[in-house]
A and B are shown apart, each in its own frame.
Chain A
Amino acid sequence: MDEPLEILVLDDEPIVCTRIKPSLEKAGYQVEIMTDSVRALDRIREKRFDILITDYRMSKVTGLDLLNLQKQIWPDTKVIIISGYATLEVARKALQSGVYDFMAKPFRLYELKEVVERAAQTIRAARQSQRPET
């Protein structure tokens, strides 16, 4: 079996994190949750996650800032933005900045899981192609 993929979930609202965590863990992912966006910036700097799930609108740092940082440091990380203030404009910006997918809150847990699953497949496929000899 493959190494479990690592996911960071970031949202101001603790309930969003605590709902997502067990759902993804049960699907076999390793999940870390954070509610403080500034600390999350540090965490992203020090550790590479396979997937980042982040809120769009947070008090100090926006999801877009995070996305940009993420793309600079770990360009391969798939970023999924979740937002309760979903406008076309937000979605457009996010997609232009290279976000993997965009979800409007509220969403169903299995919908998120499907998106994560898709991202995971892409990641695993990319890894396979990088290591053809193994």
Chain B
Amino acid sequence: MARWWQSLFHKSERDRLQSLRTLFEKFHEILDLNNAVLNLIADMGEKLSGDYVFDAHYIESAVEELNDLMYRIIYNLNSITDNRNLALYDAFERIRKRILEELSPTPTRAGELVLPLDRVTRDLEDLVGKKMSSLGEIALRLGGHVPPGFVLTTHAYRRFMDQAEVRDFLEETFDALKRGLSPEEASERICKVLTQAKVPQEVERALQPHLAALREAGHRWFAVRSSALLEDSELSFAGQYRSFLQVAPDQILARYKDVVSSLFSPEVIEYRNRHGLSHLDTAMAVGVLAMAPSRVSGVLYTRDPEMPDSNVILISAAWGLARTVVEGRGQADFYKLSRAHPAGASRLLESRVAEKTTQWLGQGEGGEKEVPVPAELRNVPCLSESDIEKLADIGDRLEMLFRRPQDIEWTMDESGAIHILQSRDLRIRTQERIAPEAVAEAARARPRIMENAGMVACRGIGAGKVVHVLEDADFARFPKGAVLVAKSTSPKLSRLIPLASAVVTDIGTPTGHMATIAREYRVPTLVDTGRATQLLAEGTEVTVDAEERVIYSGIVKELLQFQATEEHPFPDAREFRVLRRVLHQVSPLYLTDPESREFTPENCRTYHDITRYSHEIAVRQFIEFHLRGSKWKRVPMFRLSLPVPLGLVVIDLGGGIAPDTHGRVLTPDAIASRPMKALLIGLCAEGVWKTNPVDLDFRSFMASLTRTAHTASMDPHRTQNLAVLSNEYMNLNLRVGYHFNMIDAILTENRNDNYIYFRFLGGVTEMTRRTRRARFLGEVLNHYDFIVEVKGDLVVGRIKKISRPMMEDRLAMLGRLIGYSRQLDVLMRSEEAVDTFVREFVLSRHSGPPPRPKED
């Protein structure tokens, strides 16, 4: 934003305005910087949509820019508050350091030796390896289905390997390897040293509380599983690393060392030699999971790897532990299901019940053993129809979660509960990959319902039946795998995202809340398409290509197959993980209640917190200053005389008031400020200020409003309504009793500069009603495409980068909203009342002038 006010202040009353000028400059600079930070965070978030090509350099420079902006915010805030917020520098430094850690080439969070599985997500792959990061993600997104446990991280691995005797020995051995030592010999030597080495005490100490918690919960046996860092080049090793079942607690560390040793098997050493990979830079995390009691175990493929486009699910199952099936030992039942594409009701096509003579079971003394299957179970299917159905459903959900065909190792306990032991991308034979030309060809031939459709909020391709979802729809009835079509992106719809194969909305932004959720679940999403709800007919099958922004009629198998077999799915790329982790330190907002005692610099956990805190303090400082009085008496202020009972003081920074204005009292037509003019249209619209039965509260409210109409009687303890204007800018502060409403807006021809920031806090009644009022405001703002945060009775609504007509429409709406909602919390006697008022407001707006212009 330009520093337009500087020159303006120079023009008149320079000296007297000096301190106000400085304050306003700083105040506004903080607002600008805040917006810059939030914009940058939103931009960084948008990069996660997959629509952009970016690299590590982008992340680094974005972080650098963020750091710079943050520093300037803190500096400015301190300069207007006499250094009363120096503690913000400490908060900043703390967060900055954590971000740097995330950027460093070796895995993150150096302190974390052991992580419980319920804190693991796929973003932590560098720390917990591929297998465990997937399991953590499943537990988080599917809500369970994974045995409890913890992970010894790659950092623990490095501590173990960095012990002097280990490191030196390894270096020697690898030197010897170069001089001709055989991989077999090297492997044997290394494994011997590793199994004899001691696991560092700090690792053991870090592990103990997690193990104790599991034992307390009744778990006696554990699985110790490898979870290597698998870059593409190492994918082929996945099966080589070792895992152990039915491990007693006191054996866990010994098995840990065995698992780590499997990084140095002769085959792996040879492979690394061949490809010039370093033996020392590798790392492995190890998962320790409670043994799930296994009645039946097996493997599920969500597609046939030989025929990936055939839409079948394959399940193998055998009694006891998974070894029978995983290692192909012994006989297993086989089930083949067809499924409605891409997820949905499945039908059993084929079942082959094998004679199962032996099974692997965990032993009372530890370890597993192959034992005979009791005669009466040998020829009986291990899975009932409902078991199969449950498994197929989980298969569907996992394929949707990972957006790739999955190879899933599962087990089922006596109660029929399913536990996922591993889920990884199904390896589809290369020759089964579809040729890109065939995809291009097929796509060209298909009828297109929409082209250049909106913006990509999450890149990808999804297909299914169209299901329109209204705000008040019965969410429980949304079918899994359908294409969700809605008018706007609303936080409420976010709940359905995990079930959808794709999402398409008429309006919305790729930086909104719903877009974030879509990216978390990797659901292909197009927003701001304009007419999806009109063009996509309920119940028809469509393919949403949220890459080319095209919606095809029917299911384009080739596109889906191309995506399913893509070699480098973007969300798994290291750069995406790093960006997500950086954003995790930057963008969540924990500091939401400015009235709370927790609202301090010390409690700022993210950059967003710091900006929120600084903004709040800056606004307070500015308001305080203008309430302090003396200097203000000589500031050229105007009184705006309105046909409604609202007194308003106006400060013109230039161009906000028509040049031929005389006197100190203005009429609305003297306002030249674009955003203010638009707001006044709504504020002064007929019917908005119709007098309802007057409550006591309302009467005092009105009294306080009219009082401000006399600028001469400015009393710092009374309410102040202030508008700071320029031609394209408006900063409106309405302060009535305990309410504090601020609207900050810039309205230009350039949509990228445009924004409205709406903030409402407080109320005169008790908390419940205040919260209801907040909900009312939130829902109305949400209806009009604002990005809304409602926390308690604090409402923040933001909208930006919209066209001029759209801005004018939204500002007029806010004008009406100010009038309409002025006494609402007195009237909001029930939750139903909130809904009624929301409806009434939205309807009255559509029936009366001004008409809502179309977005361009």
Contacts and interface: CB of A to CB of B under 8 A. Distances in A.
Contact of B55 (A25, A84, A110): A84
A116 to B, nearest CB: 13
Nearest to B575: A15
A105 interface: yes
A93 to B, nearest CB: 20
A15 B573 contact: yes
Given A15-B574, A15-B575, A18-B567, A25 B53 contact: no
Interface string B521-553: 000000000000000000000000001110000
B440 A105 contact: no
Interface in B392-451: 436-437, 439-441, 443
Interface string A14-37: 011011101101111000000000
Interface string A108-121: 11101000000000
Nearest to B574: A15
A11 B562 CA distance: 24
Interface string B482-515: 0000000000000000000000000000000000
A15 B61 CA distance: 17
B53 A19 contact: yes
Given A22-B566, A105-B58, A28 B53 contact: no
Given A18-B573, A106-B47, A26 B52 contact: no
B585 to A, nearest CB: 20
B58 A28 contact: no
Interface residues of B, number: 29
A75 interface: no
B3 interface: no
B436 A107 contact: no
A63 B61 CA distance: 21
Interface in B183-216: none
B440 A26 contact: yes
A26 B436 contact: yes
B573 A16 contact: no
A111 B547 CA distance: 12
B437 A106 contact: no
A4 B437 contact: yes
B54 A26 contact: no
A52 to B, nearest CB: 16
Contact of A106 (B54, B562, B568, B573): B54
A65 interface: no
B570 interface: yes
A15 B548 contact: no
B752 to A, nearest CB: 16
A28 B440 contact: yes
A11 B55 CA distance: 10
A13 B574 CA distance: 11
Interface string B112-148: 0000000000000000000000000000000000000
A105 B53 contact: yes
B84 interface: no
Contacts of B437: 4, 28
A13 B55 contact: yes
B55 A16 contact: yes
Contacts of B568: 18-19, 22
A16 B51 CA distance: 12
Interface in B51-95: 51-58, 61
Interface string A77-110: 0000010110000000000000000000111111
Contact of A16 (B47, B53, B436, B548): B53
Contact of A20 (B53, B440, B456, B573): B53
Nearest to A83: B57
Nearest to B60: A84
B195 to A, nearest CB: 36
Nearest to B436: A25
Given A15-B575, A22-B566, A84-B58, A109 B53 contact: yes
8 contacts: A18-B568, A22-B567, A25-B436, A26-B443, A26-B562, A85-B57, A105-B54, A106-B47
Given A18-B568, A26-B443, A84-B55, 20 more contacts: A11-B55, A15-B53, A15-B574, A16-B55, A18-B573, A19-B568, A19-B570, A26-B440, A26-B547, A28-B437, A84-B57, A85-B57, A105-B58, A106-B52, A106-B54, A106-B58, A108-B456, A109-B459, A109-B547, A110-B51
Interface of A: 4, 11, 13, 15-16, 18-20, 22-23, 25-28, 82, 84-85, 105-110, 112
Nearest first, the 10 closest Cβ-Cβ pairs linking A and B are A25-B436, A106-B54, A28-B440, A13-B55, A18-B568, A106-B52, A84-B57, A19-B53, A15-B575, A15-B573
